[in-house]
A and B are shown apart, each in its own frame.
Chain A
Amino acid sequence: MTDSTPDFGLKLHVWGERACFTRPEMKVERVSYDVMTPSAARGIVEAIHWKPAIRWIIDRIHVLKPIRFESIRRNEVGSKIAESSVRSAMRSGRLDELVTVVDEDRQQRAATVLRDVAYVIEAHFERTSKWGLEDNDAKHIDMARRRARSGQCFQRPCLGAREFAADFELIEGDPPPAISESRDLGFMLLDIDFSAGARPVFFRAEMIDGVIEPPRLEDAKAKR
C-alpha cells in the first residue's frame, strides 16, 4: 500500500498467451504497443466491476514478463454494418438484401501481437457525478475484490482484443516481481477522454524497473 492508494485500491494480476494493444497510428495492419496501455487496463478492471457511480484510475502497471512479439495474418471483413441499410430492411421487412458477403469484402491483415504476457494492474476508483445515496466506497471496493477473488466477471476481460482472453486473480499480498528493465516507451495512449467527445490522450510512457506510472487524465503530463 502506498500513500496514493488508500484502502480503496485494487491489485490485479492478469496474464495470457497473446495480447494486442493496438497503436492508433498502426491500426490497419495492427501493431501492438510494447506493454499494456492504461486504457486497456481500465477496460479489464471494468469487465470485472463497474457502475456509473465510479471511475477507475490506473495507478501503476507492472510488467512481469519479457516483451516479445509475433506476427499473425488473418482474413478480415472490410466494412461495418450501415445503419441506413438496416433501417430500410426494417421498413421493408426483408432480410435478403441485408447481408455482408465476406468473400467479396475481404481484407487480409497482419497483426504484430505480444506473446506470453503478464501484468499487475494497480488501480483505485473515484466517485463520479452519478454517485448516489446507495453508493459507498467500501461497498464498491469489496465488490470488485470479491469478484476478482472468486473469478467472477461481467464479461471475460481481454488483452486488447477479444480473441486474447485474459486470466486474472486478485493480489492480496505483495505482487510478483516485475522485470528489471527500464525503457522509454515513447508516446503512448493514456486513454480516450469521453468527456471531450472521445478524444485520445497520450503520455510519455517510461518503464522504470518494469513499472509504468501513468499520469491522471487531467494531468498536465497528458497530451491532447
Chain B
Amino acid sequence: MSAITHRYDFVYLFDVVNGNPNGDPDAGNRPRVDPDTSRGLVTDVCLKRKVRNFVALAKGNVPGFRIYMAEKAILNNSNLEAWTEQGIEPDKKGDYSRLPKDEENARRITRWMCENFFDIRAFGAVMSTDKNAGQVRGPIQLTFAESLDPVSPLEISITRSSVTNERDADKERTMGNKHIVPYGLYRAHGFISARLANDARKGTGFSEEDLSLFWRALGEMFDHDRSAARGEMTARRLIVFEHESDLGNAPAAKLFERVKVSRAPGSDGPPRSFSDYAVTLDEAPLPVGVKALDLI
C-alpha cells in the first residue's frame, strides 16, 4: 500500500428530511443552528463519527482497518496477559514515568498505530508518546457543514401509550419531544493534505485504498446510520478536486467557488426537497493540474 500522492479538496452535499442531523447539547438536543444566520450546522466530528462507523461496518476486523475510537462497547475476552507482561494494572492510564525518550521508539509506536487503525491514519490521533502529547496529524481535515438556507427546526410533541413507573399507572400515557428540521441541504468542505500521508517523517501512510474507502464512506454512511432521530439523511453530491502535485496546484477557495448551489428555477417558498436546488460545477477550464471528479 503506497501513500497518496495528490492533494484533494472536496465539496460534500447532504440533506435531511424531517430529522435531526446533529443535536446541540446546549439547547436540549435541538438541531444546531447558527444564531447569526439561522442556518443549520453539522459539526466536523459528527461527520467523522459516521465515517468511522461505516468503516467499522464495512471492514469489520480486516487487519489494518480497525477503528480506535469505537462507538459501542466491544465484548473483549479480557486479555490480561499483555498487562501482566508489562506489570501494569489495567485501571492505570498513560504511565508517564516510562516514556520513550528515544524518538525512534516513539515513532515506531506511532507507525504501528497508523498501520493498524484506519481512523488514526485518516484523522490522526493524540498519543502520549512524549511530554507534550505527541500528535499524529491525519491528512483529512473536515469543516463544519452548513445548510444553504436558514432552517426552522420544529418541536414535535409525541405521546407514548405506556408508562415507565408503576406509580404512574393511572396516567396511561406520557409525552415526549422530538426536534426535526423539515428539510435542509448541508454543504461541507474537506481537505486531504497528501504530505501528511506520504511524508517520510510525519506521514501516516494513508493510501489510495484508504482514500477510495473514505469516498465510499461519504457516499454510503448515512444509509447505515438510520435512527428515529435522524429522519432521512442522504449524501447528494461529492465533488472532488484532485491536484496533480501533493502540495496542490490552485487555491482551494477558488476551486470551491466553482461549485454553486442555488434554488432551482421555478421553485419558490421554503425548500422541501433536493429538487428545489440546482448544483452546478463551473464549466470554465480548471487551473492547470487540477481535475474535478464527481463521485456521487
B248, A101: Cβ atoms under 8 Å?
no
Q: Is A83 touching B109 in the complex (CB atoms < 8 A)?
A: yes
Contact A91:B72 (CB < 8 A) given known A83-B100, A155-B195? no
On whether the beta carbons of A91 and B141 are closer than 8 Å, the reply is: no
* Contact indicator B26/A163 (Cβ below 8 Å): no
**B69 an interface residue at 8 Å Cβ cutoff?**
yes
Do B251 and A86 touch (CB < 8 A)? no
B207: Cβ under 8 A from any A Cβ: no
User: In the complex, what residues of B have CB within 8 A of residue A100's CB?
Assistant: 68-70
- Chain A residues with CB under 8 Å of B250's CB are 150-151
A167 vs B256: C-alpha distance when bound (angstroms): 11
Residues on A with beta carbons closer than 8 Å to the beta carbon of B142:
163
Known: A74-B45, A88-B86, A163-B142. A96 touches B251 (CB 8 A): no
The answer on a CB contact under 8 Å between A82 and B128 is: yes
Residues of B with C-beta under 8 A to A110: 26
Q: Which residues 154-171 in A have Cβ within 8 Å of B in the complex?
A: 154-156, 158, 162-165, 167-169
Query: Does B177 lie at the interface of the complex (its beta carbon under 8 Å from any beta carbon of A)?
Result: no
Docked pose: A88 CA to B73 CA in angstroms: 20
Residues of A within 8 A of B69 (CB): 77, 100, 102
Q: Which residue of B lies closest to A194 (CB)?
A: B132
Q: Is A88 a contact partner of B26 (Cβ separation < 8 A)?
A: no
On chain B, the residues within 8 Å of A18 by CB distance are 144
Binds B, one of A65-73, A124-132, A202-210: A65-73
Chain B hits for A150, CB < 8 A: 248-251
Cβ–Cβ contact B127 & A80, under 8 A: yes
The answer to whether B254 touches A151, judged by C-beta atoms less than 8 angstroms apart, is yes
Question: Chain A at the B interface: mostly helix, strand, loop or mixed?
Answer: mixed
CB-based contact B133/A80 at 8 Å: yes
Q: How many residues of A contact B (CB 8 A)?
A: 55
**Residue from B69, B85, B125, B133 whose CB has the most chain A CB atoms within 10 Å:** B69
Within 8 A of A (CB), among B1-60: 24-26, 32, 34-36, 41, 43-45
A76 CB contacts on chain B under 8 angstroms: 45
- B99 contacts across to A, CB distance below 8 A: 83
B129 touches A153 (CB 8 A): no
By a CB distance below 8 angstroms, the chain B residues around A147 are 247
Q: With a 10 A CB-CB cut-off, give which of A75, A77, A80 has the most chain B CB atoms.
A: A80
Query: What 0/1 readout, one digit per residue, does chain B (60-95) give for beta carbons within 8 Å of chain A?
Result: 000000111111111011110111011010000111
Smallest distance from the beta carbon of B72 to chain A beta carbons, Å?
7
CB contacts (< 8 Å) of A42 on chain B: these are none
A163 to chain B, nearest CB (A): 4
Are B70 and A96 interface neighbours, CB within 8 A?
no
A residues less than 8 Å from B67 (CB atoms): 99
For the complex formed, measure the closest distance between the CB of A13 and the CB atoms of chain B, giving whole angstroms.
Answer: 11
Contact B126 A115 (CB under 8 A): no
CA distance A71 to B36 in the complex (A): 11
Residues of A within 8 A of B98 (CB): 84
A81–B86 Cα distance when bound, in Å, is 16
Q: A81-B125, A92-B81, A96-B76 are in contact. Are A151 and B70 (CB under 8 A)?
A: no
User: With A72-B43, A103-B71, A153-B248 given, is the CB distance from A91 to B36 under 8 Å?
Assistant: no
A interface residue numbers (CB < 8 A to B): 17-18, 70-77, 79-92, 94-104, 108, 110, 115, 147, 150-156, 158, 162-165, 167-169, 198
Known: A82-B95, A88-B86, A169-B251. 15 other contacts (CB 8 A): A81-B125, A82-B128, A83-B106, A83-B128, A84-B86, A84-B88, A96-B74, A100-B68, A100-B69, A102-B69, A108-B25, A150-B251, A151-B253, A154-B247, A162-B137
